Amino acid sequence: MPTKWVDWDKTTRSKDYRGSGSFATFLIIGPTCFFLGILFASFPYDFPLLWTSAPVTPEFLDHMESHLRQVYHSPPLISRMLHIIVFLGFLGFFTKLFRPSEANVLFDGGSLILYVIGCGVYLSNIVTGMRAASQPGGMAAGSSGNRRNGAGGAGVYEGVLTGEVVLGREDSLRVLSASHVILALVLVGVLVLQAGQWYAERKEAEEVAKAEKEAGERRGSGAAAVAKKKN
């Protein structure tokens, strides 16, 4: 195959192969588990909105918006640490994908795509939702210039195609919670691909060891047969 940036001669037994046991894999798994822990901390707020049929009280929505405001207005050091951890994940991917083998392209390339998708979900949905909740009045007030107040405190956005889209406070928070779930699934996919790489390396090592053992037994039996003929 003419792809120049892929080393097709590199295998899992090569000295410069960066597989599941490399430090770059730690740079991928560490940030991924860290972000899953942050999402798990938000699960008590997401669960009543997505997984129960019981009506959500306004007090619960107030608590959730208060939590989002506190997270959004956290000290700058917190956001800088978060961005550094995100960068460490990318550093791990770029390290493993430098002159990669075929296994790196399949497992680490797929993991990188999921990681980028997760960053897109975070920037487009989660950060936007926290910013909206941090505005005066919270989700019910909104921050878009084309928004006007509707009945029951709902946000009515005048659209180009359908005229208007009604988005209430509870629906806005439900969208944010669904984004948390989507991001968690994407990050779990990264861990699954990294675990798949470890499993593939293990099976290949077992098959190579088995083939070498059988080859040694054949050589030993052949040598014994030759020695028997000489005697």
For residue 191, being part of any structural domain is answered with: yes
Is residue 178, in this structure, part of any structural domain at all?
Answer: yes
Question: Is residue 13 in some structural domain?
Answer: no
Element (H, E) at 166: strand 165-167
Q: Which residue has the higher pLDDT, 161 or 179?
A: 179
141, two tokens: 């007030």
Domain holding 114, by residue range, is 23-142+170-199
How many distinct structural domains can be found in the chain? 1
Which pTM was predicted? Answer: 0.80
In a domain, 72, yes or no: yes
* Assigned domain for 210 exists: no
Render pLDDT for 33-54 as a digit per residue (tens, 0 to 9).
999 999 999 999 999 999 988 8
Domain presence at residue 192: yes
Q: Are strands 147-149 and 155-157 parallel, antiparallel or unpaired?
A: antiparallel
What are φ and ψ of residue 195, in 5° steps?
A: -65, -35
In a domain, 215, yes or no: no
Q: Does residue 127 form part of some domain?
A: yes
The span from the CA of 30 to the CA of 28, in Å, is 6
- Report the range of poorest mean pLDDT among 53-62, 140-149, 178-187: 140-149
CA separation for the pair 42, 29 (Å, rounded): 20
